[in-house]
Structure 1
Amino acid sequence: MKRDYYEVLGLEKGAGEAEIKKAYRKLAMKYHPDKNPGDKNAEEKFKEAAEAYSVLSDSQKRTQYDQFGHTATDGGPGGFGGGFGGFENFDLSDALRTFMEGFGSSSFDDFFGGGTGSRRRSRGSDLKVTLNLNLEEIAEGVTKTIKVNRMDSCDSCNGTGGEKGAMPIRCTTCNGSGQVRQISRSLFGQFVNVGACSNCGGSGEVISKPCRSCAGDGRRKKASQIKVNVPAGVAAGNYMTLRGEGNAGPRGSDRGDLVVFFDEKEHKFFTRHDTDIITEVEVSFSQAALGDKIEVPTLTGSAKLSIPAGIQSGQVLRMRNKGLGELRNGRKGDQLVKIQVSTPTKLNSSQKKLFKELASSNGRKVRTAVRKVRL
């Protein structure tokens, strides 16, 4: 079973691009075949890290993976979002290509941060919320509105971080580049790690007269309502990522993401098993003996169920296509109805008489059937 790609890189779900790059670079350096000649375990870890990075560094692939996990990367046709192919044949050559080209350059220096880079502001942090759903909502899909407290643009300064008329000045920490560099040495030589300047948030500028409402940050915490379109068939533990719905970044920089985890409420009647749902229905002795048509609850309302004559306690009847749809292809599961025959415990005299007549109508004494129980 494949490991979660975020787990492979040692990251939290919703990690930023810089974190993904840094985590992959660290693992690639550690497990590179040139550094571990003949070590098959290191080679597998190198390939695993490259596969994870090739998905998480691509915005389209990552969006699909964030919403549907490894089902989005399975080979073959179909799948929500159209799919993007599998990784069953991801080999060492693919991993090495990812190693050299993963950052838009075939240059070894550029891959490890030796290039000039560009000014980049720090994006806002991600938010994580849990959305509880009942089975009826999961069966059909639903649009829910959730409330989140997040950082939004400051109304007083419109997100600039400065008082009206205040002019930005060059950051002295990074000399206006928006970046700070750290030089380190390793087996492969000297490398330059480039990160956003903490003083200016990557903008290269600081505010000469900070906004009094937000202390120059350009944002304040506010309550927001966000619509979430939940597809049919999700399960507890699934999650989806809403791009740009997290916290606003400082002084007008990009928002983070909102990661919505799904949980399932306990149902009054049904137990879920993959796409099937299971319930138990009690019928009377006479209904079991003679058969009947009864009303049973389903996820879309009540429906008729035929009870065949002579049904026994513990037998299971199947109602086709009354279960949940599969997340990827929408194919419906079934509703399984376990029958329990209710034996009367209190009989009046006329009822006792009828049961005695029934017993005597066999023409012989009713024998008890004994069977071996297999555990």
Structure 2
Amino acid sequence: MSDPYVVLGVERDADADTIKKAYRRLARQLHPDVNPDPATQERFKEVSAAYEVLSDPEKRRMYDLGGDPFGRGGGFAGQGAGFSFTDIMDAFFGGQQGGGRGPRPRSRRGQDALVRLEIELAEAAFGTSQELKVDTAVLCSSCHGSGAAPGSRPVACETCHGQGEVQHVQRSFLGEIRTLRPCAACRGYGEIIPEPCRECAGDGRVRSRRSITVKIPAGVDTGTRVQLAGEGEVGPGGGAAGDLYVEIHVRPHPVFIRDGQDLRCHASIPMTAAALGTTLRLPLLEADLLDEASRSEDSDVESWVDLDVRAGTQPGTEQVVRGRGVPHLRTGARGDVIVTIDVETPARLDERQQELLRELAQLRNEESPEGRLHPNRRSVFDRFKDAFK
């Protein structure tokens, strides 16, 4: 029998840390993955067997007394020498000998939840508070998350003795390799619920429909998500609740189209108003926040402005009302209202109206206009962009 102290190169009074360091150093040099030479593999088996003896206080004591630490006849490095797979992992990765992961916690954080909320454009622009009905997992009121029926409690698993793991031994050319696997009896929890709660079937949570109030900040847009911390799904075993995300979807507005922080709309006027100039009463988005009674009475909310259309305004002219658009979500700075003027040409004229227009054409020397031709200076990219708008 080879002397394990000589094999590992340590003194007979070496402590456990010295023995472990010596084994790690030799294992790195002799492991078959590093050096596949057959002679080296035999040497590795010998080193592993020596470490098994010296790392086990009982086997070390038996060897020091002159007995067989393996309780059998034959040589020290004979076939069947056992060692822990974790010891090999320790040699290469510096782990702790025999250190298992232990039972996994039954209580875990719940999942996040996502709900969709449709609001009006004015509510998205100026903010609002909405009451939501959400269907999520909540803490079981009967067992308060423990999963056990009232008057009972979980007990330690008899299979793994509360460790949540069991050891499996597999033979290989290296000897016996021991690995830890989750206990099948308790599913790795280390404890078993003998009397599960009837309300939640041992999960510690039940599904329930509840109402919550969500505050929508001013300036949100379609796709914006508002986070409500701790309002999501309660976790298994009464774990902490996840978060609830409210995804905003803004309904189309009958007048305005949102363009970032700007609001766009069209105003149609007769050709006479475009030629002579006029003043339009332009409603603002604030008007949507007022009820019928408020609109008829004096209100502090300015719900409309006077838009002066200059004489000679051409079709497609854009006029801007500064600072009356949508507030920015972070800075609060408001965009503009951009009004595109559409000029309406009368399709039907009575005799008097035709006579007056002919007289006007004669005065302006426009009885037989030839028209002014000019190249289209808009690029193909601009027209392509307009088509998608």
The offset of 1:115, in angstroms, is: 9.4
257, 267, 270: which one pairs with 1:281? 267
Given that 1:124 and 1:253 are in contact with CA atoms closer than 8 Å, whether structure 2 keeps it comes out as yes
CA distance in 2, matches of 1:161, 1:270: 54
Give, in whole Å, the separation in 1 of the partners of 2:100 and 2:341: 70
RMSD over equivalenced CA pairs, Å: 3.5
* Structure 2 Cα separation of the partners of residues 116 and 167 of structure 1: 20
C-alpha spacing 1:270/1:140, structure 2 compared with 1 (3 Å) = same
Q: Deviations over 1:290-331 (max 9, x none)?
A: 111112232112332111111010000101112111112111
User: What is the alpha-carbon distance in structure 1 between the residues aligned to residue 305 and residue 109 of structure 2?
Assistant: 52
Please give the residue correspondences for 1:44-63 in structure 2 after superposition, counting only pairs within 5 Å: none
Displacement after TM superposition at 1:234 (Å): 1.8
C-alpha spacing 1:350/1:214, structure 2 compared with 1 (3 Å): same
Equivalent residue, structure 2, for 1:241? 227
Query: Is 1:217 the equivalent of 2:220?
Result: no
Query: Following superposition of structure 1 onto structure 2, how do residues 259-298 of structure 1 map, counting pairs within 5 Å?
Result: 259-298=245-284
Q: SS where residue 155 of structure 1 aligns?
A: coil
Identify unmatched segments of 5+ residues in structure 1: 1-107, 182-195
Task: Please tell me whether the aligned partners of residues 276 and 312 of structure 2 are also in contact (alpha carbons under 8 angstroms).
Answer: yes
Structure 2 unaligned spans of 5+ = 1-93, 168-181, 288-303, 379-389
Question: Partner residue of 1:316?
Answer: 318
Structure 2 equivalent of residue 42 of structure 1: none
Contact 2:358 2:367 in 1 (8 A): no
User: Does the C-alpha gap of structure 1 residues 207 and 116 become closer, same or farther in structure 2, counting only changes over 3 Å?
Assistant: closer
Task: Tell me how far 1:369 sits from its aligned partner.
Answer: 2.8
In structure 1, what is the Cα distance between the partners aligned to 2:258 and 2:184?
Answer: 49
Q: Which has the larger radius of gyration?
A: 2
CA gap of 1:142–1:351, structure 2 versus 1, over 3 A, is same
Q: Residues 174 and 180 of structure 1 are in contact (CA less than 8 Å); yes or no, is this contact kept in structure 2?
A: yes
Are residue 359 (structure 1) and residue 361 (structure 2) matched?
yes
Match of residue 90 from structure 2 = none
Aligned partners of 2:102, 2:345: CA distance in 1, in Å? 82
Give distance in 1, aligned partners of 2:184 and 2:230: 22
SS at 1:373 equivalent: coil
State how far apart, in whole Å, the 2-side matches of 1:198 and 1:246 are: 31
The answer to whether structure 1 residue 370 and structure 2 residue 373 are counterparts is yes
| Cα 1:204/1:362, change in 2 over 3 Å | same
Cα displacement string for residues 253-284 of structure 1 (whole angstroms, at most 9, x for unaligned residues):
21111122222222222222111111111011
- Measured in 2, the distance between the counterparts of 1:278 and 1:197 equals 65
Residues 140-289 of structure 1: pairs in structure 2 closer than 5 A: 140-171=126-157, 176=162, 205-289=191-275
> Cα offset for 1:154?
2.2
5 Å-filtered alignment, 1:324-363, equals 324-363=326-365
SS state at 2:360 partner: helix
- Asked if structure 1 preserves the Cα contact closer than 8 Å seen for 2:106 and 2:237, the reply is no
The CA deviation string for residues 156-205 of structure 1, in whole angstroms up to 9 with x for no partner, is 33333222211222356875568999xxxxxxxxxxxxxx9998799765
Would you say the 8 A contact 1:122–1:202 is kept in 2? Answer: no
Give the whole-Å Cα distance in 2 for the aligned partners of 1:119 and 1:280.
62
Q: 1:203 to 1:331 in 2, by over 3 A?
A: farther
> Contact 2:284/2:324 (CA < 8 Å) preserved in 1?
yes
8 Å Cα contact 2:319-2:340 kept in structure 1: yes
One-letter identity of the residue aligned with 1:238: T
How many angstroms apart in 2 are the aligned matches of 1:127 and 1:281?
Answer: 43
CA distance in structure 2 between the partners assigned to 1:335 and 1:179 by the alignment: 67
Matches within 5 A, 1:69-84: none
Q: Distance in 2 between matches of 1:125 and 1:310?
A: 62
1:138, CA displacement in angstroms?
Answer: 1.3
Q: How far off its partner does 1:358 sit?
A: 1.6
TM-score for the superposition, normalised by structure 2: 0.57
- Aligned identity (percent) is 37
Contact 1:121–1:202 under 8 Å retained in 2: no
Amino acid at match of 1:326: H
Size of the aligned set, in residue pairs, is 256
CA contact (8 A) 2:107 2:237 kept: no
SS in 2 for 1:210: coil
Q: Measured at CA, do residues 372 and 159 of structure 1 come closer, stay the same or move farther in structure 2, by a change above 3 Å? A: same
> Any idea what SS the aligned residue of 2:361 has?
helix
State the distance in 2 between where 1:179 and 1:242 align.
38
Paired with 2:113 and 2:221, the residues of 1 have a C-alpha distance of 20
Residue type of the alignment partner of 1:345: A
Q: Secondary structure at the match of 1:323?
A: coil
Counterpart contact for 1:121–1:201, Cα < 8 Å: no
1:121 touches 1:178 (CA, 8 Å); kept in 2?
no
Secondary structure of 1:300's match? helix
Q: Is the 8 A contact 1:162 1:210 kept in 2?
A: yes
